Structure 1
Amino acid sequence: MTADSRIPTSPARSAPSPYRVAAVVMIGSFMSVLDGTIINVAIPALQRHFAAPDGALPAYSTVAWTVTGYALAVAAIIPLTDWGLKRIGARWMYIGSITLFTIASVLCALSPSLAFLIIMRVVQGLCGGCIMPVGTTLVARAAGPNNLGRMMSLMGIPMLIAPVMGPILGGWLVEVASWHWVFLINLPFGAAAAGLGLFLLPRDDDRGTVRLDVPGVVLMSPGLALTLWGVSNAGGGAAITAPVVWVPLVLGLVMVAAFVRRSLHAERPLLDLTILRLRGYRNAIALAIFFQAGFTADLLLLPAYFQQVRGLGAMAAGFFIAPTGLGALITMPIASNLVDRLPAGRVVPFGMAAMFASVLALTQVGADTSLWWLGVVLTVQGLGIGGTMMPVSTAALQAVDREEVGNATTLFNIGQQVFGAVGIAIVSVLLALFLAGTDAGAAAVAGELSGSELANGLAQAADAFGRAFWMPTVSMGLALFMAFRLPMRRERATIPATS
């Protein structure tokens, strides 16, 4: 199999402009990514709104299930997206997911109780988990091999802008209006994406009756959800030896392992894992999961550092993190255009080197580190993100045939989802341990000190943050190593036959 067999362009009658397809997908992707971050700043407002008649606030951990439930639902549905693509078709699956997501958003805003809100957030997660992989499949099919990098760079815009805008926009909406608008803001985006999708998305010609691998679903979807639940509990402060951590974690890993074993022997598995035998795809997904683990850990530490050590508000912290998005917008179109003409192994290492250098620099943060210097570091980080994130996704899809795009995208998203949660959990545990090991750092970030004691405590807290930044640094170092293992030529090998 040669490079000519990669994702061929569909016949003209069924292939509208890839830019139109990308525009529709960008709207839906922006909405789903924004929804994953915008609610975080609204949790205190939700506590007050759903307080008991006697004024008692619900526990923060209970309200946080509006975030946890969404993440677990996303993890549970992703394995089913490839089956849905084959059975329902990409066009109707995307439009249906957007429509149901929007309806669930409105119902979240109208929730009469906290329990109902959590249920609707789970429904949102089930729909939101389909939007990104199905949208990526639509864009990849419409782009063709020569435009894939350019189109994927457009896909990366909402993934960069939405996480930065989420806390800023969420804080502003809660302050000037109410928490209800954190969900109602999805209405115009959802209506636009679904409406435009009816006119601009290509019709599916390859739908068919595909048998659902029920044992695979029973093993993989709950297995992923349990694994992420255990990991998130560890990141939330529970001890590693606590049953709430190790019971779901062990059970989830056993179920995932059983799924992998079954998939390698089943005739038509839920996910075809033989695609990992493609060296180009295997190296790209390995790079992606190391990158995602470090990236999510970095995104957790940065706003916490700005707010807890430097004393900034949520909106101000968001503005200081904004240079990452601006830097990425500069390099993403350049790197994505290059990866259409050059092999990924000659493009991605430059972006990964910038990303590694930036997180390495953050290990040196202090309580009085120049904000201008941090701005430069975060701009370099943005340049690295733009030169890495979507080019790696492009490299993974360039390594597979058109009929394998759905399966490849689903597996790619699962890897990112799982290792993103692992990165958050690891860095959360490390930061808590480092703060606990100081004399006054934990008390300082909790606002329990003042005067000279506060200054000393913040210095210790800053040192704890600097040590915690070593976790994303190591992860990015591993990703940088994998960047040099990406293909140096455009050709690729076929999937080796199984014995």
Structure 2
Amino acid sequence: MCGVFVAANFMAIMDTTIVNVALPAIGRDFAVDTSGLSSVNVGYLVALAVFIPVSGWLGNRFGTRRTALAALLLFTVASALCATAGSLEALTAYRVLQGVGGGLLAPVGMTMMLRAFPVAERLRAQQYVMLPTAVAPALGPVLGGWLVDTASWHWVFLVNLPVGVLALLFGAAVLPDFPGLGAPRFDVPGFVLAGGGLAAVLYALTGAPDRGWGSADTLVPLVGGVAFLAALVPWELRAGHPMIDLRVAEDHLFRTTQLVLLPTGAAFMGVLYLYPQFLQTDLGYDALHSGLATFPEALGMLTASQVVPRLHDRVGPRRLMVVGGAGAALVVVFLAILTTAPHPLALYPSMYLLGASVGLLFASAQNAAFVTVPPARTADATTLLNMQRQTAGAFGVALAGTLTASLVPAAGTGTAHADRIAFLTLAALCLGAAVLALRVSDRRVREAYDAAAPRPARAEPVRPGRAVPDAEPDPRP
């Protein structure tokens, strides 16, 4: 099951970065200016945002196995359609279908992982779960650049097909089913408020650096999206069958870890956006080599995912999260210094240390987030986690892009000054995450592990399609 989840999530995450390097080639083929290609990514992003909130309802209504396989099939078919698109309009429509599948894959797959592995074994599972989060964003530009240079832009979509087909076949053979609580009525107002609000906010954040924060195209969707999300809270708390049971956020440990992950995710995605541009603009790297210089970050995160299970019991998640946040802040400050006196030999170890620091925080926080969440509320918790992740990433990119775009004309001395200010701002977000991590309770995590200790080491395997009952009753009234 780990392999299916990793493969599916890997494709969905990598698709957010691999297409960027293919946009110039797509524009040449379709005779479209680069500025007119934004719909290719915006369509994917908006569809992703709309269907993240509905993933929990679909899992409860149809079961996690069928939902996951359907989402994987849709994503794979849409990838094939993207590769055959003959116009920008067709490509945009197929990217929307990809976004629908991608929006369902991560929350449903994470729900299955959390319910298949008891609390005591989740850290071992994290070693695999971290793989797409660590490698996919960094590999996307490298693989995309190589495919466009050696073949054509069509291959940035075709590369998904063998992975998707194998994951489908393997998943159909081995995935167990975790039935939901049942969803007799679709929460239409909750879907509109959650999906529409998240999509509007992400749309505004994604285009803000180019359109400007004061433009109507940014302010209207941003204010409207925030208003929708604010209205979502009282509606879902009163609804008889809520789209997302927000009462899962009453869990102090879950809520605190989400607050820690929010600035960390923003800073991490902001650095991944800013760093390649610094390499290309200031140091003269081409797209492929800037991607290769970014890749050590993925190796650092993978190293951290192997280290955390060995340190978790002795050190505790709080200390690991604090060290990870503070370490990331120091590395990003060092990157800011490098904008003044860049040294190529310092770039690779810096990105490795950044990945290792962020990996310490991510792995520890994601494990701690769910140790006290009952199985019946896992789908709601993973939905909120993925909504937070998308919003944090979009905000980090928007913040970095806005700072560089606004400071370059003001400085009048090139991009180095703007990059330095942007890096320092992102470092402050990492430091804020380290401070917030001090509120995480190691005691509650230990109590959850102690309570789970007498249980079997692994959920009882079942034949594919057979239902796996929850170990705890539904906490909803």
Q: Distance in 2 between matches of 1:298 and 1:209?
A: 40
- Equivalence for 1:28: 8
SS of the residue 2:342 aligns to = coil
Q: Distance in 2 between matches of 1:423 and 1:370?
A: 25
1:464 aligns with 2:438: no
Q: Distance in 1 between matches of 2:215 and 2:440?
A: 40
Provide, for residues 397-444 of structure 1, a one-character-per-residue CA deviation record: whole Å limited to 9, x for no partner. 112111111110000110111121111111211111111112241xxx
Structure 1 length normalisation: TM-score? Answer: 0.87
- Equivalence for 2:150: 176
Q: Distance in 1 between matches of 2:380 and 2:177?
A: 19
1:484 aligns with 2:438: yes
The Cα shift of 1:326 comes to 1.5
SS of the residue 1:147 aligns to = helix
SS of the residue 2:137 aligns to = helix
Is the CA contact (8 Å cut-off) linking 1:152 and 1:394 kept in structure 2?
yes
**From 225, 231, 238, the counterpart of 1:252:** 225
Q: Distance in 2 between matches of 1:154 and 1:227?
A: 31
- Equivalence for 1:448: none
**From 346, 359, 381, the counterpart of 1:386:** 359
SS of the residue 2:412 aligns to = coil
The Cα shift of 1:45 comes to 0.2
- Equivalence for 1:127: 101
Q: Distance in 2 between matches of 1:232 and 1:471?
A: 18
SS of the residue 1:369 aligns to = coil
Is the CA contact (8 Å cut-off) linking 1:76 and 1:221 kept in structure 2?
yes
Provide, for residues 232-261 of structure 1, a one-character-per-residue CA deviation record: whole Å limited to 9, x for no partner. 2212x2122211111111111111111112
Q: Distance in 1 between matches of 2:4 and 2:175?
A: 8
Q: Distance in 1 between matches of 2:25 and 2:212?
A: 28
Q: Distance in 2 between matches of 1:195 and 1:165?
A: 25
- Equivalence for 1:329: 302
Is the CA contact (8 Å cut-off) linking 2:411 and 2:417 kept in structure 1?
no
- Equivalence for 1:201: 175
Q: Distance in 1 between matches of 2:123 and 2:347?
A: 30
- Equivalence for 1:241: 214
Provide, for residues 132-185 of structure 1, a one-character-per-residue CA deviation record: whole Å limited to 9, x for no partner. 111111111111111111102211112111111111111111111111111011
The Cα shift of 1:32 comes to 1.2
Provide, for residues 332-363 of structure 1, a one-character-per-residue CA deviation record: whole Å limited to 9, x for no partner. 11114443676422432222222121112122
Over the residues paired in the alignment, what is the CA RMSD in angstroms? 1.9
**From 474, 492, 495, the counterpart of 2:428:** 474
Alignment CA distance shift 1:342-1:208 (3 Å): farther
Q: Distance in 1 between matches of 2:218 and 2:362?
A: 31
1:149 aligns with 2:105: no
The Cα shift of 1:210 comes to 3.2
Q: Distance in 2 between matches of 1:40 and 1:309?
A: 20
The alignment-based identity, stated in percent, is 34
1:316 aligns with 2:289: yes
Q: Distance in 2 between matches of 1:34 and 1:220?
A: 24
Q: Distance in 1 between matches of 2:188 and 2:95?
A: 25
- Equivalence for 1:456: none
Alignment CA distance shift 1:271-1:208 (3 Å): closer
Q: Distance in 2 between matches of 1:210 and 1:294?
A: 40
Q: Which moved more, 1:304-313 or 1:149-158?
A: 149-158
Q: Which amino acid aligns with 1:121?
A: R
Q: Distance in 1 between matches of 2:16 and 2:257?
A: 25
- Equivalence for 1:190: 164
Provide, for residues 185-242 of structure 1, a one-character-per-residue CA deviation record: whole Å limited to 9, x for no partner. 100010011110011111234463432111111211111111111222212x212221
1:110 aligns with 2:84: yes
**From 362, 369, 372, the counterpart of 1:399:** 372
Alignment CA distance shift 1:317-1:326 (3 Å): same
The Cα shift of 1:263 comes to 1.4
Alignment CA distance shift 1:204-1:278 (3 Å): closer
Is the CA contact (8 Å cut-off) linking 2:64 and 2:179 kept in structure 1?
no
**From 79, 86, 99, the counterpart of 2:53:** 79
- In the alignment, structure 2 segments of 5+ residues that lack a partner are 452-474
- Equivalence for 1:454: none
Is the CA contact (8 Å cut-off) linking 1:39 and 1:182 kept in structure 2?
yes
- Equivalence for 2:469: none
Provide, for residues 275-319 of structure 1, a one-character-per-residue CA deviation record: whole Å limited to 9, x for no partner. 212110111000111111111111111100011110001110111
Provide, for residues 80-122 of structure 1, a one-character-per-residue CA deviation record: whole Å limited to 9, x for no partner. 0110110111111111111110100011011121101001101
- Equivalence for 1:307: 280
Is the CA contact (8 Å cut-off) linking 2:130 and 2:302 kept in structure 1?
no
Q: Distance in 1 between matches of 2:439 and 2:309?
A: 18
Q: Which moved more, 1:28-37 or 1:77-86?
A: 28-37
Equivalent residue runs for 1:371-382 within 5 Å: 371-382=344-355
Alignment CA distance shift 1:124-1:320 (3 Å): same
SS of the residue 1:204 aligns to = coil
The Cα shift of 1:59 comes to 2.9
Q: Distance in 2 between matches of 1:98 and 1:171?
A: 25
- In the alignment, structure 1 segments of 5+ residues that lack a partner are 1-20, 52-57, 442-460
Q: Distance in 2 between matches of 1:25 and 1:314?
A: 30
What is the total number of aligned residue pairs between the two structures?
450
SS of the residue 1:212 aligns to = coil
Alignment CA distance shift 1:367-1:400 (3 Å): same
Alignment CA distance shift 1:126-1:464 (3 Å): same
Q: Which amino acid aligns with 2:192?
A: V
Is the CA contact (8 Å cut-off) linking 1:24 and 1:200 kept in structure 2?
no
- Equivalence for 2:458: none
Is the CA contact (8 Å cut-off) linking 1:140 and 1:148 kept in structure 2?
yes
Q: Which amino acid aligns with 2:218?
A: V
Q: Which moved more, 1:147-156 or 1:178-187?
A: 147-156
Q: Which amino acid aligns with 2:334?
A: A
Q: Which amino acid aligns with 1:357?
A: L
Q: Which moved more, 1:262-271 or 1:309-318?
A: 262-271
